[in-house]
Structure 1
Amino acid sequence: MTMLRSLVCFGAAVSMILSIAACSSDSEKQSDQKSSDNSKRVKLTMASVQGIEGFNYTNGDAVAKYYSDKFNYDLDMTALNWDNWNERLRIWINSGDMPDIAVYNYIHADAAAFVDQGLIKKLPDDWKTRWPNVAKVFSKTSLGPQMEKVFGGTYFIPRARFMSNLPGDPLSNHPAIYIRKDWAQAVGFPIKSAYTTSEIIQYGKLIKEKDPGKVGDKLIPVAENTNHAVDLFVARNSTHYNNFYKDKDGKYKWGGASEDTLKGLKVFSEAYRSGVLSKDFFTVKNEEHGSYFNVKGNAGATYFQAPTSAFQTYFNDFQANTKLDPYQNIHMAIVLGEDGNYHQEDLINFWGTIVFNPNISNEKFERYMDVLDYNATPEGNTITNMGLKDVDWAYDSNGKVKSLYDEVKEGKPLGGANGKYPSNGYLLGSTILFDDFAFDNPNSDQRLRDMSKQLYAEKSKKGTPETFTKVNWDVYTYDSPSKRRAQIDYNTEYANLVTTQGDIEANWKKWVESKMSIIQPVLDELNSKLAK
């Protein structure tokens, strides 16, 4: 400690003893601002979806090795899948057995409980000064600053979907309907930029009747799994199908009991009972349904993820497996409710949050934060999207990123399990998702980038303030024991209603009644505390 600092402390304190204690305490608070010392190798344990089970994320490929060498770590990755992601992390966090780092699918009721019980790490109060690039991304997520206010500090680092290419406010979700354009033309179905849910059923019935692709018994008119089927038919008709909301009369209501939700369930039921959906759609694993369209080639349509970053691989796979030109044979459109409007609550500009074990050592925490900060810079973000500098990409004379990677010549994609860099992706430390960079990525065909922009714009154009709503932070952040008890797996329950024998409206009314014991207390609280 310098003499000047000692004198300042002495002058501010009652005694020398107290001044030394105060100075020591202040020094400890500022310790997180010290420059990183990467000389000691650390082992990081992490759990996330989108990983490849058994892959060596320390040095399994050149990109993984670049990061582990640069930041001097070994990375032990637990690859979760879409079906066990939420539950396994919930169990690990609650039991105190979570790894050093995890990518957590933010659910506010659970998140609030984790914070209350001290089950995840609170970041140092000055973390934004130490890691300014992460802080810039954090500020763009909306969720980050809002939760910081709610919890009185930072416990979650949301990963921004978009940083500089936000396509709309409110933000629309990614999925769109992929339709076999050649099949649609063969059966006389119109090619449009948007369809209602009943028009999708009409298309499916035509495909089922005429089988223009000569698929036979393997034909699936509209291929979905549980989550996407609910998203396609229920969510596109009911903005608040899985949430509480403030109605025009100023009162809070439950979306599960709304007439719009019933409307969506009726369309969903028709799709299932008419054979437009596969009879066992609910057994299809998460994200697997898209392969019926672009790999197996036996689906007439699929409502599937459609962020810009996924288009190129999806279109390439379609061409490789069907031997057809995807630009001539795939049509993409948005899906509207029966009222002709686009329905959705604001997606919020994040997907997945980074959390830390509360007992993680300072060395490990700081090391991974350094990785996140580097990858939030233009260079780091480009590496996570395009591979190694001067190997897979370079800057041209104008400072613009140009690609050096030729997928056709290489005979494989840049990332993915069968790619040049299987580690390529979010698992090496990203707070900016691929969605943002994809609009500018020279590895993606300009036609796909333009198509993606059109789809996002169309959703905003077709939505109204009542059907495409901004986030209500009062509802989103409201927490109570009753609210925590009122968590429902809406996708599974709606699929159960549709696949149960009997009249769908009668089934829905019984279901609504059965849920009111956990729903009514929340409505009472919202209306007494938040309603005007």
Structure 2
Amino acid sequence: MKKFLLTLITAVTVFGLIACSNETTSDKEKENSGDGTTIRVVYKDETNSNPVSVKYFDELEKALEKDKDIKVNFELVDLPQGNYAEKLTLLLYGGDIPDMIYFQGGDQSLTQQGLLEDLTPYIEESEYLKDALSPYNQKRLENYPYLLWIKPLSAKTPVIRKDWFEQMETSEKLMADPTVENYHAFFKELVEKKPGGSTPNYAVTVAGDLEEINFTFNMAFGISQSWLEKSDGTYEYYKVSKNEKEKIAYYQKLYEDGLLDPQFVTKQWDTKEKAFYDGEAAVVSGTAGKVIDIYNGKMKQVNGDEAELVVLPPAKGIDQGFGVTDVTKESRGVAISSQSEHKELVFDILDYLASPEGQKLDRLGFEGEHYNVKDGEIEVTEKYYGEWYARFWEPTELTFDQPLKTPLLSGPATESQEMTIEYFKEDNSFILPEEYVANWDAMENLYREYTTDIITGKRPIDDFDKFVDAWMEAGGTQITEYANKTIK
């Protein structure tokens, strides 16, 4: 009976949502300003209060009209402060569905209700996007054709300022043989020697959970896929494996020795980065490529050129690498509302952003600020390195109408990308059926609760076994059975 009522409520909600969203789109059609079509966009960090965002979309309007004779007026939809995925879900379930939507979670429920457009036919007929896709983008779109996110591999790589790195006696040994033991010795020397005079206070910090440094350490502990094959040929989820238990014991030791930020649970992105620039933390992890580029630019701006970043290698043990790449779907990306009256136009805009002209704005920023053209060559500025990032696409093959005089990424950023590609490995994860999603969320909460308590010393490491039992009871048994039927 409960299941029937839930299905009925969901059906009524979806019907009302679609009706409401159609009405909203119709109302917005009447609000077109000038002679361009209004395209409503909701996109994390791109808000009306951000002058760079406003200028970017103004410049995009001009470029579209100049290069493609497409006349649009972008309307940025602001969300209340807080968790983006949660606030976006509230907006969409309230019936306000913009034409172009950036998701960072929460998209699957909308997809299952038919509210996101299947992008497959659009991409097949595209002028630029079909050639901009990397192999992992193509696989993700085959599995889940509703989100588009053309970016380099998003592994997070650890970095440290060069002037501190060179003062450590353990640096050379770490680079030559980055075992978990050598990482511990390196972290310990940083805290004991304090190359900043009175800092660092701790060796490494993260923003809220341990996913960032998992990229460095997972594979060393044999966590080389989401589902690990056991000796009997069956699979178990890595978070309930003996490999994970050994890794959590290692993190517990880092915490106990004062090497892991004692406030790691409450750290946010901004406070993590501030701790890094201020020298409270010696090592942070950032997404390979542009994020490392921004970290490098800001670190040099605050502490001088000698503080240029050094990229540290992934820890080595049973395996080595910066984690595995999930190809089930894009974990984030841009979607088109199936209720939009401008679906083709929205896709044309996305396709334009993959063109040489569109990439010039998206990748280079504003002429005179982030780059200049001298003697027919493009030269990026210091402001570019420290501030600019592509709002949309970063295809591997990049062509502009003029040659580049200066590289788009600094040395450390380029190295981080190259190391990520070097250690690429495909995951064996799969899209979880909707019937298991609620259980999965509860199981993830159990994981965070137990592992945080173990790492911070509130629980002994043997309580990991209690966590495994609780995880299985919360739905792990059924999901593990499903995994063993699904994984080929």
TM range (shorter): 0.7 to 0.9
Q: Match of 1:168?
A: none
Paired residues of 2:325 and 2:426 also in contact (CA < 8 A): yes
Q: Match of 2:394?
A: 433
Distance 1:378 1:332 in 2: 31
Distance 1:186 1:127 in 2: 54
Q: Match of 1:512?
A: 468
Paired residues of 2:219 and 2:323 also in contact (CA < 8 A): yes
Name the amino acid aligned to 1:485.
N
The answer to whether 1:383 aligns with 2:365 is: no
Deviation of 1:276 after TM superposition, in Å, equals 0.6
Distance 1:312 1:484 in 2: 38
Secondary structure of 1:182 counterpart: helix
Deviation of 1:340 after TM superposition, in Å, equals 5.6
Paired residues of 2:147 and 2:334 also in contact (CA < 8 A): yes
The answer to whether 1:48 aligns with 2:43 is: yes
Deviation of 1:511 after TM superposition, in Å, equals 1.2
Match of 1:403 among 368, 374, 378: 378
Q: Match of 1:114?
A: 110
Name the amino acid aligned to 2:482.
E
Distance 2:396 2:280 in 1: 28
Q: Match of 2:348?
A: 370
Deviation of 1:519 after TM superposition, in Å, equals 0.7
Q: Match of 2:15?
A: none
Deviation of 1:344 after TM superposition, in Å, equals 2.1
Note the residue ranges of structure 2 that are not aligned, 5 or more in a row.
1-32
Deviation of 1:366 after TM superposition, in Å, equals 2.5
Match of 1:177 among 134, 158, 170: 158
Q: Match of 1:103?
A: 102
Q: How many pairs align?
A: 439
Paired residues of 1:220 and 1:278 also in contact (CA < 8 A): yes
Alpha-carbon spacing, 1:341–1:452, altered in 2? closer, same or farther (3 Å): closer
Distance 1:510 1:516 in 2: 10
Deviation of 1:53 after TM superposition, in Å, equals 5.8
Deviation of 1:88 after TM superposition, in Å, equals 2.8
After superposition, the C-alpha distances for 1:47-68 in whole angstroms (9 at most, x for unaligned) are: 2224356125454787355347
Q: Match of 1:315?
A: 296
Moved more, 445-454 or 353-362: 445-454
Match of 1:210 among 169, 188, 193: 193
Q: Match of 1:342?
A: 321
Match of 1:361 among 341, 366, 370: 341
Q: Match of 1:132?
A: 127
The answer to whether 1:305 aligns with 2:286 is: yes
Paired residues of 1:237 and 1:263 also in contact (CA < 8 A): no
Distance 2:48 2:186 in 1: 39
Alpha-carbon spacing, 1:476–1:383, altered in 2? closer, same or farther (3 Å): same
After superposition, the C-alpha distances for 1:341-398 in whole angstroms (9 at most, x for unaligned) are: 3362224496622212332113xx232212111111122213211135799455977x
TM-score, normalising length from structure 2?
0.76
Distance 1:404 1:130 in 2: 34
Distance 2:150 2:73 in 1: 26
Paired residues of 2:157 and 2:288 also in contact (CA < 8 A): no
Match of 1:477 among 425, 428, 431: 431
Distance 2:333 2:57 in 1: 26
Name the amino acid aligned to 2:335.
V
Distance 1:161 1:197 in 2: 30
After superposition, the C-alpha distances for 1:74-94 in whole angstroms (9 at most, x for unaligned) are: 323246799713333344445
Name the amino acid aligned to 1:183.
W
Distance 1:413 1:357 in 2: 32
Compute the RMSD of aligned alpha carbons.
Answer: 3.8
Secondary structure of 2:268 counterpart: coil
Distance 2:96 2:359 in 1: 31
Q: Match of 1:89?
A: 88
TM-score, normalising length from structure 1?
0.70
Q: Match of 1:275?
A: 258
Alpha-carbon spacing, 1:62–1:477, altered in 2? closer, same or farther (3 Å): closer
Paired residues of 2:160 and 2:310 also in contact (CA < 8 A): yes
Correspondence list, 1:435-474, <5 A:
442-444=406-408, 447-448=411-412, 451-452=415-416, 454-456=418-420, 459=423, 469-472=425-428
Q: Match of 1:75?
A: 74
Q: Match of 2:5?
A: none
Deviation of 1:72 after TM superposition, in Å, equals 2.7
Secondary structure of 2:458 counterpart: coil
Name the amino acid aligned to 1:334.
P
Paired residues of 2:238 and 2:244 also in contact (CA < 8 A): yes
The answer to whether 1:499 aligns with 2:474 is: no
Q: Match of 2:312?
A: 333
Paired residues of 1:220 and 1:298 also in contact (CA < 8 A): yes
Distance 2:76 2:386 in 1: 17
After superposition, the C-alpha distances for 1:414-441 in whole angstroms (9 at most, x for unaligned) are: 784xx7xxxx631xxx3x2377659x88
Name the amino acid aligned to 2:340.
I
Secondary structure of 1:360 counterpart: coil
Bigger Rg over Cα: 1
Deviation of 1:321 after TM superposition, in Å, equals 0.9
Distance 2:434 2:373 in 1: 52
Distance 1:77 1:180 in 2: 37
Paired residues of 1:235 and 1:241 also in contact (CA < 8 A): yes
Q: Match of 2:6?
A: none
